[in-house]
Amino acid sequence: MRVAVYRRAHFNAAHRLHNPDWSDEKNRAVFGLCNNPNYHGHNYELEVKVVGEVDPATGYVIDLGLLKDIIKSQIEDRFDHKNLNLDTEEFKNLNPTAEHICYVIWQILRKHLDERYDIFVRLYETPRNFVEYPAE
C-alpha cells in the first residue's frame, strides 16, 4: 500500500533576482522589485511529500521525526536567515527564483532520503505564489 506523507517547514531568506548577462535596464524590466540591488526577504513555506510503501512492521511510510530532522538540518539550517545570493554556495551562480530554490531543495533531500521513496517539493514564496518539483 503506497501512501503520501507530508511535512511542512519554513525559512526566512533574502534574495535578489538578477541575470548578469543582461543590462541593469533589462534586469529591472524582467525582474521588477525582485531585482532590487539591496535585496529583499521572503517567508518561504516548504512542503515535502514523501511517497512510499507502508512498512507492515511499523505502519509508517517514513518516521516523521526522521523527516523533520533531515529538513531541519539540511534545509532550514542551510537557508534560514540567509542571503541566498551572498551566503549560500547553491545560489552564488544560480538565480534564486522559487523554481531554482525548489529544485535545489529537492536535490538535497534526494541525497538524504532512501531511494525507495518518491519525493515532491512544493515551495511557497508568498501565500499565493508557489512552485512544485517535479512537475506532475
Which amino acids are annotated catalytic? 34, 81, 125
Residue 102 engages Ni ion in binding (rule: CB under 5 A): no
Q: Which of residues 30-49 bind Ni ion (CB under 5 A)?
A: 34
Shortest distance (Å) from residue 28 CB to Ni ion = 14
Shortest distance (Å) from residue 40 CB to Ni ion = 6
**Distance between alpha carbon 99 and the CA centroid of its chain, in Å?**
8
**Per CB under 5 A, which region of 29-37, 51-59, 97-105, 127-135 contacts Ni ion?**
29-37
Rounded (10°) angle between helices 98-112 and 64-71: 130
Given the complex with Ni ion, which of 62 and 100 has the nearer CB atom? 100
Q: What share of the chain is helix, strand, coil (3-state, %, to 5)?
A: 35, 30, 35
Q: Are 35 and 18 in contact (CB under 8 A)?
A: yes
Site residues for Ni ion per CB under 5 A: 34
